[in-house]
Amino acid sequence: MDKFIIEGGTPLKGTIPISGSKNAALPLMAASLLGNSASTIRNTPRLKDIYTFNNVIRVVGAQVDFKEDENTLVIDPTNVNHLEAPYDLVRKMRASFYMLGALVGKHGYAKVSMPGGCAWGPRPVDLHLKGMEAMGIDIELEKGYVIAKADDKIDGGTFQLEPSSVGATVNLLLAAVLKARKFTIENAAKEPDVVQLCNFLTKMGADIEGIGTDTLTVKAVDSLEGIEVSNDPDRIELGTFMIAGAMFPGSELTLTGCNPDQLGGFTDKLRKTGTSVEVDGTTIHVKAPDKLKPVSIKTEIYPGFPTDLQAQWATMMTQAEGDSKVTDTVYFDRFSYVPELTRLGADMEVEKNTVHISGKTPLTGASVMSTDLRASVSLVLAAMVADNHTEVLRIYHLDRGYESLEDKLSAVGASIKRVDGD
């Protein structure tokens, strides 16, 4: 099992290109199965989750051609004939559960394993199933599998998501666009990933009203056709590198291929730390302040502060001059990184869904490990400002969500190398 060895204490200077979004690409991949012809998704990142989902899609009979050197993915669904997504693949990532909506939406039947993914927090799929039942889809649970059945056309209806959920919104859209005569999702997620999916489906021929709002109304169409699109840039990768550029005095990063509008309230919060952030079209320039100011944040659904950036923000706050706190209102127990950061010297204490941070604390290298994707990258950020060298274990989490992380960071001055963990 690979690990990173990182020598800290070096400012970052240079340019980092932002990759395509994993979280945006996965729904598009599932939506491709709804078409009567092949779809092409450009700007698809080379990530473990993408490869895993490619294999899930291949299992059902679709042809998948990932042109890695071009970051281009072609999915041809015309030979889909095995309407089951097995446990051994679905357990590896939660987004595989999108197969439920895609298969029952197109073929009227799906048998999909209950999902896996990051080992933290209760993220139940109840909303997905209750929403489909409200739509008129028959749902059964059998030995760890969900079996969904639907007639050629179903009436639809209305379902309110409580709480708002990106995953449930995606799955309900996939199920509805070919099946439900009229189906309305209330309190729908408004994240860029959902907006991109709605635009993708509409371009395929779907009838969706309210795109970009919290009320989406779908009216079934008879068929959808494959299309060619370019995937959105990864706003979480962008935010992570903006934080990396703010943490160490003397750092200056230029980030290219961005969509600054998708950062929500993050950019304003970063500027309050004293960090210089200049936006020029699809390019963002970040310059670290001499002294980082403490800024407390609370995660919210989009366009609020993203939960996927809270671990990185808390790590940055260990280097701020004063006290701060980070509260996660989306997932209450997403703080597995805190004990590991305290091993490096951070002064942090978790109380319910809030971590209290006392800064500035010098960090010193040690061996650390993590249990999820964003916590892992927060340890990399900490290691780059810590004295001496740090070993970050279990970096397979990072390979799920950050394309060529060590290469991008090494190119701007970080001392980071991947070695065999054994």
Residue 35 CA to residue 276 CA, distance in Å, equals: 45
Report pLDDT digits (tens) over 181-210. 999 999 999 999 999 999 999 999 999 999
Q: Is 118 an active-site residue?
A: yes
Quick one: pLDDT band at residue 123, thresholds 50, 70, 90? Answer: very low
Quick one: pLDDT band at residue 122, thresholds 50, 70, 90? Answer: very low
State what percent of residues in the chain have pLDDT above 90.
86
What is the arithmetic mean of pLDDT over 61-81?
Answer: 98
Report pLDDT digits (tens) over 124-138. 689 999 999 999 999
Q: Which CATH architecture has domain 22-230?
A: Alpha-beta prism (3.65)
What is the arithmetic mean of pLDDT over 3-30?
Answer: 96
Report pLDDT digits (tens) over 383-398. 999 999 999 999 998 9
54 is in an annotated binding site: no
Instruction: Judge whether 2-19+233-420 and 22-230 match in fold.
Output: yes
The pair of three-digit structure tokens given for residue 111, joined into one six-digit string: 């048998």
Q: Check if the beta carbon of residue 106 is closer than 8 Å to that of residue 140.
A: no
What is the arithmetic mean of pLDDT over 32-36?
Answer: 98
Q: Check if the beta carbon of residue 136 is closer than 8 Å to that of residue 150.
A: yes
- Per domain, the residue ranges of the chain are 2-19+233-420, 22-230
pLDDT above 70: residue 121:
no
How much is the pLDDT for 332? 78
Q: At 110, give phi and psi (nearest 5°).
A: -155, 140
Residue 118 CA to residue 372 CA, distance in Å, equals: 5
Report pLDDT digits (tens) over 287-308. 999 999 999 999 999 999 999 9
271 is in an annotated binding site: no
Q: Check if the beta carbon of residue 354 is closer than 8 Å to that of residue 327.
A: yes
127 is in an annotated binding site: yes
pLDDT above 70: residue 320:
yes
What is the arithmetic mean of pLDDT over 252-267?
Answer: 96
Quick one: pLDDT band at residue 422, thresholds 50, 70, 90? Answer: low
How much is the pLDDT for 373? 83
Q: Which residue among the candidates 102, 118, 326, 379 is catalytic per the annotation?
A: 118
Q: Which CATH architecture has domain 2-19+233-420?
A: Alpha-beta prism (3.65)
What is the arithmetic mean of pLDDT over 338-366?
Answer: 96
CA distances from 397 to 44, 114, 264, 273, 336 (A): 18, 20, 25, 29, 13
420 is in an annotated binding site: no
SS (H, E, C) the chain: CEEEEEECCCCCEEEEECCECHHHHHHHHHHHCCCCCCEEEECCCCCHHHHHHHHHHHHCCCEEEEEHHHCEEEEECCCCCCCEECHHHHCCCHHHHHHHHHHHHHHCEEEEECCCCCCCCCCCCHHHHHHHHHHCCEEEEECCEEEEECCCCEEEEEEECCCCCHHHHHHHHHHHCCCEEEEEEECCCCCHHHHHHHHHHHHHCCEEECCCCCEEEEECCCCCCCCEEECCECHHHHHHHHHHHHHCCCCEEEEECCCHHHHCCHHHHHHHCCCEEEEECCEEEEECCCCCCCCCEEECCCCCECHHHHHHHHHHHCCCCCEEEEEECCCCCCCCHHHHHHHHCCEEEEECCEEEEECCCCCECCEEECCCHHHHHHHHHHHHHCECEEEEECCHHHHHHCCCHHHHHHHCCCEEEEEECC
125 is in an annotated binding site: yes
Give the predicted TM-score (pTM) of the model. Answer: 0.94
pLDDT above 60: residue 118:
no
What is the arithmetic mean of pLDDT over 24-53?
Answer: 97
How much is the pLDDT for 412? 98
How much is the pLDDT for 144? 86
231 is in an annotated binding site: no
